[in-house]
Amino acid sequence: MMQAQLQGQGKKIGIVVAQFNDLVTDRLLNGATNTLNQFGVAPADIEIIKVPGAFEIPRMARILGESKQVDGVIALGAVVRGETPHFDYVCDATARGIAEVSLNGPVPVMFGVLTTDTMAQALNRAGGKGGNKGSDCATGVLQMISLQAQMA
């Protein structure tokens, strides 16, 4: 039986984070980086790329994942429902894009894009009662890197 290890020493992690809704995404980013550091990833081994919004995340996640400079990628963003269908289009395209990168790319990619009805729900998942999904993605990417290495 294979079991994932939470060991980050010597691992290089890329984080692609949306700047839109930065009140939320900054908290997700802090959760991710703090957790990576806690499990041994050196601050110098974390490459952070800030993109304008969630829609732009998949492209940069693909480029970063294919660069051979990182062992895994974390995608972070926050899309909050508004009054128009824009929310649905952005959520769908972002989720599909990140899934495609994850399935077809050389390194694990974690989906940390919040899709919520309200800003309060987003904040709750970015360090509130709902935990921090950035932190969850950090442990997830380390686990996936470990499992992928065991399969090699």
Please give the positions annotated as active site.
Answer: 86
Binding site feature residues: 20, 54-56, 78-80, 83-84, 111, 125
CA distance 13 to 7: 12
Binding site feature residues for (2S)-2-hydroxy-3-oxobutyl phosphate: 83-84, 125
Binding site feature residues for 5-amino-6-(D-ribitylamino)uracil: 20, 54-56, 78-80, 111
Q: How far is CA 58 from CA 5, 26, 96, 152, in A?
A: 26, 18, 9, 25
